[in-house]
């Protein structure tokens, strides 16, 4: 599961690595986003298709259908096993988007300690992460509705990545990421989710300080490597 992430490059750098162009709203292309401790339910820069082109705009990380009667345990992630076929996601499954990020955080239990150790996970080659998402979105020229938002899609971690959680975000390579935000059929998009995620060997991770546990802690220090106590 992904509940905290880093998104600190400029939009133009993510787009260059992805090999696409997009219309930006709320940000200039060369402006560093500079967010190293992005928490759920904040507005996060997201790439999505609108008409024949791509749009880069801030969207709320978190979504639940308006008809849901009870609060859900988590409204920030969707599992790849169910997202294409579940009634719960039917209205937003066609609305594919891409979260371009630099890394995410996970917390690992430490034997003999009550406090978990935080780890930062990124690509070994330092390329951006292209994480598939779905959501409900308004026109980028208008104010978002109160129930707009998105979820990122997760997969079974299959072990090997810290072995700290049973889920991790799907991360596409650039080619699959471009396809995800193209006009491919729904069945092909579902197939990509089941087969296209980068393997564990594509990632590296290391321990970081406790500051990342509080989303009010900003600046670049949350991704700095530390020696576990």
Number of domains in the chain: 1
Q: Is residue 229 in some structural domain?
A: no
Range of the structural domain that residue 202 is part of: 5-223
Q: Is residue 228 in some structural domain?
A: no
Tokens 């471009």 label which residue?
178
**Looking at residue 31, which CATH number applies to its domain?**
3.90.1680.10
Question: Mean pLDDT, to the nearest integer, of 124-132?
Answer: 98
Q: Is residue 55 in some structural domain?
A: yes
What residues does 106 pair with on adjacent strands?
Answer: 119
What residues does 29 pair with on adjacent strands?
Answer: none
Q: Is residue 90 in some structural domain?
A: yes
Write the DSSP assignment of 172-184 as a string of letters.
B-HHHHHHHTTT-
Q: Is residue 75 in some structural domain?
A: yes
Q: Which residues are catalytic?
A: 2, 106
Q: What is the dihedral of CA 70, 72, 76, 79, to 10 degrees?
A: -120
Q: Is residue 200 in some structural domain?
A: yes
Percentage of residues in the chain having pLDDT higher than 70:
94
pLDDT of residue 72 exceeding 80, the answer is no
Give every CB contact of residue 17 below 8 A, 6+ residues apart in sequence: 127, 128, 174
User: Residue 154 in contact with residue 80, Cβ under 8 Å?
Assistant: yes
Given this model, what pLDDT does residue 160 score? Answer: 64
d(CA 80, CA 132): 10
Per-residue pLDDT reduced to its tens digit, 145-178: 989 999 999 998 766 676 655 788 999 999 999 9
pLDDT of residue 70 exceeding 90, the answer is no
Given this model, what pLDDT does residue 105 score? Answer: 95
């Amino acid at each position: 599961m992904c509940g905290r992430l880093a998104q600190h490059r400029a939009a133009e750098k993510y787009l260059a690595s992805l090999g696409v162009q997009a219309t930006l709203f709320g940000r200039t292309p060369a402006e560093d986003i500079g967010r190293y401790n992005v928490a759920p339910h904040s507005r996060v820069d997201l790439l999505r298709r609108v008409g024949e082109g791509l749009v880069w705009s801030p969207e709320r990380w978190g979504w639940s259908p308006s008809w849901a009667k009870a609060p859900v345990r988590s409204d920030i992630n969707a599992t790849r096993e169910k997202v294409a076929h579940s009634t719960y996601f039917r209205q937003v499954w066609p609305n594919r988007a891409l979260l371009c990020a630099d890394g995410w955080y996970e917390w690992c239990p430490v034997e003999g300690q009550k406090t978990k150790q935080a780890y930062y996970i990124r690509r070994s080659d330092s390329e951006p992460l292209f994480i598939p998402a779905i959501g409900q979105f308004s026109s980028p020229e208008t104010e978002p509705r109160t129930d707009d938002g998105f979820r990122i899609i997760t997969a079974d971690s299959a072990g090997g990545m810290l072995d700290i959680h049973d889920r991790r975000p799907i991360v596409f390579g650039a080619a699959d990421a471009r396809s995800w935000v193209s006009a491919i059929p729904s069945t092909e998009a579902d197939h990509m989710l089941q087969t296209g995620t980068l393997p564990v060997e594509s990632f590296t991770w290391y321990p970081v300080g406790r500051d990342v546990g509080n989303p009010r802690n900003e600046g670049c220090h949350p991704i700095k490597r530390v020696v576990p106590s």
